[in-house]
Amino acid sequence: MKSLRHYTLMLLIVALCTVLPLTAGAASSSVTIKTQAVNLKFDGQSLALPDGQYAFIYQDRTYIPVRFISYALQKSVKWDQKTSKVTVSEPTAAEKEALAKLLAGAAAGGAQPAAGKSITIKPVQATLVFDGQAKALPTGQSLYSINNSIYVPLRFMSEAVGTDIKWDQKTNSITGESAAYKAAQAGGNNGTGTNTGTGTGGGTDTVEPTKPTKASIEDAASAKLAALKANCKATLEAMINPYLTGDDATKEKIKQEANKTVDQCTADFNKIVADTTAELTKYGYSLEIIDAFKAQFEADLKQGMDIVKGLS
């Protein structure tokens, strides 16, 4: 019986890993959206996306393939599958020559992919490194995969590489200027037309954000809940081995830490639900997804508590 009690907290921690809605993980696994027709112009040159690659707007953010836009900005891109790391850096002399040929082909390419094509995007986890420095996406943003290509938010990419990249919703245009191009154009029009700005005034997001769809709001909440669940699970699971191998004082300390973690995770869950409720209400949408989140939360919490009671 004593050895069984040693596993009580371990099972409690495992049980508590399910207190965040399981529906969040399922809802955020993939999303079907429509492509966006865009005009691409980098360093004064019009470019075309390769076959099978697209631009799209999701949650009021414009997404573009990270490899394509890096090449357009004359940057080297490397993908390490083992570590899931994308490295963007200044190209070597040989790489510059290869990039010139790639861009020439893109400039001579066919028409841009048509708008309105249904595609399925799937969130992916990857480390992004720019000139040797890892940079994390802002909270609530994600990388997506389509046809084995990784897509990145346009504003994030702009800030990460220190290049002015703009999205103009009225003309469906994405324009960018590399540091080398701007240096070559020095003495021309300085300080105008390239400010990314903030809000809706000339930034890389849509110039005049449209009303978000109900699905986009729900998907955003689901993505946040999935990330919260993964973080809470990892934190709690890390406590299992120290608890099993620790002395009484260590076990008591870990119990307190576990309780604090659960309290914080619950508070974070409630905030996401509250923020999502406010946004859905603002745009006149129904709240059935909120009821589903809460119901799943309560059911999973009860299940976890029942496991613990059965072992007491």
Give burial (CB, 10 Å; 0-12/13-18/19+) of 85.
middle
Query: Which of the pair, 222 or 206, is modelled with greater confidence?
Result: 222
Q: Which two tokens stand for residue 303?
A: 């299940």
| Spatial distance between the Cα atoms of 10 and 290, rounded to a whole number of angstroms | 30
Q: How far apart are CA 54 and CA 126, in angstroms?
A: 20
Q: At what angle do helices 8-16 and 214-237 cross, to 10 degrees?
A: 160
Q: Are 124 and 150 in contact (CB under 8 A)?
A: yes
pLDDT band at 104 (very low <50, low <70, confident <90, very high): confident
Q: CA–CA separation, 31 vs 217, rounded Å? A: 12
What are the tens digits of pLDDT across the range 123-171?
Answer: 988 899 998 888 888 877 889 999 889 999 988 888 888 777 888 878 8
- C-alpha to C-alpha distance for 283 and 13, rounded to whole angstroms: 38
pTM of the model: 0.52
Token pair recorded at residue 141: 């943003």
What is the signed CA dihedral for 274, 275, 276, 282, rounded to 10 degrees?
A: 110
Starting from the edge strand earliest in sequence, which strands make up the sheet with 76-80, in order?
Answer: 76-80, 85-89, 127-130, 133-134
Contact indicator for 10, 304 with CB cutoff of 8 Å: no
Q: How far apart are CA 51 and CA 66, in angstroms?
A: 15
Amino acid at 213: T
Q: Which residue has the tokens 């406010």?
A: 278
Average pLDDT over residues 276-286: 89
Question: What is the percentage of the chain residues whose pLDDT exceeds 90?
Answer: 9
| 206: pLDDT strictly greater than 60 | no
